[in-house]
Amino acid sequence: MTISDLYTIMPIVITAGAALFVLLCGPMLLSASLTAIGVTASAAAGLWAALGTPASTQAVSGLCFTPLARFLIPVFCFAAAVTLLLSHSYNERRGIKGEEFPATVLFALFALCVLPCATNMLILFLALESVSFAFYILVSMDLNRAESGEAGLKYLLMGAVAAAFTAFGFALLFTGSGTLQLSGALARPDNRAIISAGWGVILVGMAFKLSLVPGHLWTPDVYQGAPAPVSAFLSTSSKVAAAALLLILLALFPPMPELRVPLAALSVLSMVLGNLAALLQQNIKRMLAYSSVAHMGYLSLALLSGSRDGYAAVLLYGAVYTAMNLAAFGAISSLSIDEERELVTDYAGLGFTAPLRGGVLALAMISLAGIPPTAGFIGKFFIFYSAIKGGSIALAIIGILSAAASAYFYLRVVAQLYMHRSQAPAPRAVSLAEGLALCLASAMILVIGVYPGPLLKAIDTALQ
């Protein structure tokens, strides 16, 4: 290992260092400065990754700055920075004190940065589980609300089961291929059965992580119970990480014929049930949770195509979904007063009394519904494009119809924001950090929606 090798994995070093620094020096510093350190570290790590060039050799054993990492790390860092910006004033209002919060976010970011760099199945697994570990803590961070603790416990139990499945799957893949190395591991044809079994078990684990039906049961409770900024981070980064893990594995062990049927079933069930369940929700966070089930269904539709276009669509959708959900949960977090506004009807009239946050929430909803000129449309377009190219026209039509139905519940929020009289208590003024975070997220939504060219190019290089 040389210094130049270290440079390539600098984002990991930065985030790890920042997490430790915040944890150790936290008691001596103001909480505002801790947040500032966290945001700076995330931004620095993201920029470093975005501007760096992918390395062909391992920096340390098990880690290599791959083209995929170059694309994903900035996405993760963006999510973490926005989360930190949002959480500062939210935590003050909710009485969540201490340096643990920014430190845990940074620790999660560190694990997220490791994940796409992994060249070894063990590192991959450890990274994934570290991410989950950080989220178990973050979800139950709000000690004043019983739901938060309940959500944490639920997530922990479900997550542990999922982790067991994933670990078992990795073990089977190891048995089948004879190596833990991700670079050289090629399935020997005679071991196809074992590899397929491994894939099946991993798929179960990932269905939990991605909250695909029937592994979605934890999602509404956890989203509802977790503090809103945490929901923002959880619903974006942990999903993208799980999708990235599947991408990495698919690139090496491509047993697509066997995977097709289960993946198609997961995808259709998630799209249809997710959207149908979301139609019935009165609580906005539960609604977004079911919507996230549906969106992960779209994402697995693209995975199903098994083509380069499909994988590109997955990465694109990951980035797009990150921007959309950060904006949505960000607005929810920022519009909260002493308590969060839980019901959709609590948002009545806020489009006019809080124009920025109402506008961001409306934009996020329109984007989630997949209406141009927002990022959501571009993301959906490429998903369905790759699905149709891969020959699953029937699935694509099911997906599109369920997406059309989903417009109803997204628009219900917009209707509340703009078309009902306000009964809700007036929102407080937006803080600078929140405003910045919301503007960043909505700028992403609009820029990707109008001019996705550069992002598509970046994805193209990431898939090499």
Partner 1 sequence: MNQLPLLSILTFTPLIGAILLLFVNKNSHGVLRTIAMAVTVVTFVLSLPLITGYNAPGSDIGGFQYLENIPWIAAGPFQMSYHLGIDGISLWLVILTTFIMPIAVLSTYTAVEEKVKEYMICLLLLEVGMIGTFISLDLFLFYIFWEIMLIPMYFMIGIWGGKNRIYAAVKFFIYTAVGSLLMLVALIVLYFKAGGGDFSILRFYQLHLDPTTQMWMFLAFALAFAIKVPMFPLHTWLPDAHTEAPTAGSVILAAVMLKCGTYGYVRFAMPLFPEANAQFTPLIATLSVIGIIYASLVAMVQQDVKKLVAYSSVAHLGFVMLGVYALNQQGVTGGMLQMLNHGVSTGALFLIVGFIYERRHTRLITDFGGLAKQMPVFATMFMIVTFSSIGLPGTNGFVGEFLVLLGSFESNLRWYAIIATSGVILSAVYMLWMFQRVMFGELKNPKNQTLKDLNAREVAIMLPLIFLIFFLGIYPRPIIDSMAPSIDKMIAQTKVQKQVAEAAVPAVPALPPGHMAVPEAGAAPAGMPAGHPAMPEAGAAPAGMPAGHPAIPANNEAK
- Tell me whether residue 420 or residue 428 sits nearer to partner 1 (CB atom): 420
Q: What tokens were used for 398?
A: 């099911």
- Tell me whether residue 209 or residue 380 sits nearer to partner 1 (CB atom): 380
C-alpha dihedral (132, 39, 230, 99), degrees to nearest 10: 80
Task: Report in angstroms how near the CB of residue 321 gets to partner 1 at its nearest.
Answer: 18
> Does the footprint of partner 1 cover residue 366 (CB under 8 A)?
yes
Task: Report in angstroms how near the CB of residue 40 gets to partner 1 at its nearest.
Answer: 31
Task: Report in angstroms how near the CB of residue 427 gets to partner 1 at its nearest.
Answer: 17
- Tell me whether residue 272 or residue 396 sits nearer to partner 1 (CB atom): 396
User: Token pair 């002493």 is at which residue?
Assistant: 338
- Tell me whether residue 68 or residue 403 sits nearer to partner 1 (CB atom): 403
> Does the footprint of partner 1 cover residue 27 (CB under 8 A)?
no
Q: How far apart are CA 349 and CA 409, in angstroms?
A: 17
Burial state string for 136-165 with b = 16 or more CB within 10 A and e = fewer than 16: bbbbbbbeebeebbbbbbbbbebbeebbeb
Give, as ranges, the residues between 214 and 273 that touch partner 1 (CB under 8 A).
none
Single out the residue of 52, 178, 214, 373 in contact with partner 1 (rule: CB under 8 A): 373
Answer for the pair 315, 251: CB distance below 8 angstroms, yes or no.
Answer: no
Q: How far apart are CA 361 and CA 264, in angstroms?
A: 32
Query: What count of other Cβ atoms lies within 10 Å of the Cβ of residue 269?
Result: 17
User: Token pair 């276009």 is at which residue?
Assistant: 309
- Tell me whether residue 8 or residue 392 sits nearer to partner 1 (CB atom): 392
Q: How far apart are CA 127 and CA 237, in angstroms?
A: 13
**Residue 3 CB burial class (10 angstroms; 0-12, 13-18, ≥19):** exposed
Single out the residue of 110, 136, 298, 384 in contact with partner 1 (rule: CB under 8 A): 384
> Does the footprint of partner 1 cover residue 426 (CB under 8 A)?
no
Give, as ranges, the residues between 386 and 425 that touch partner 1 (CB under 8 A).
388-389, 393, 396-397, 400-401, 403-404, 407-408, 411-412, 414-415, 418-420
Residue range at the interface with partner 1 (CB under 8 A); choices 101-109, 201-209, 223-231, 456-464: 456-464
* Distances, alpha carbon 168 to alpha carbons 206, 241, 249, 284, in Å: 12, 19, 15, 36
Q: Give the SS3 label for residue 181.
A: strand
Answer for the pair 316, 299: CB distance below 8 angstroms, yes or no.
Answer: no
Task: Report in angstroms how near the CB of residue 148 gets to partner 1 at its nearest.
Answer: 34
> Does the footprint of partner 1 cover residue 317 (CB under 8 A)?
no
- Tell me whether residue 102 or residue 452 sits nearer to partner 1 (CB atom): 452
Residue range at the interface with partner 1 (CB under 8 A); choices 101-109, 332-340, 365-373, 434-442: 365-373
Residue of 1, 98, 135, 114 lying closest to 49 (CA atoms): 114
> Does the footprint of partner 1 cover residue 456 (CB under 8 A)?
yes
Binding residues for partner 1 (CB under 8 A): 308-309, 312, 352, 366, 371-373, 377, 381, 384-385, 388-389, 393, 396-397, 400-401, 403-404, 407-408, 411-412, 414-415, 418-420, 451-453, 456-457, 459-460
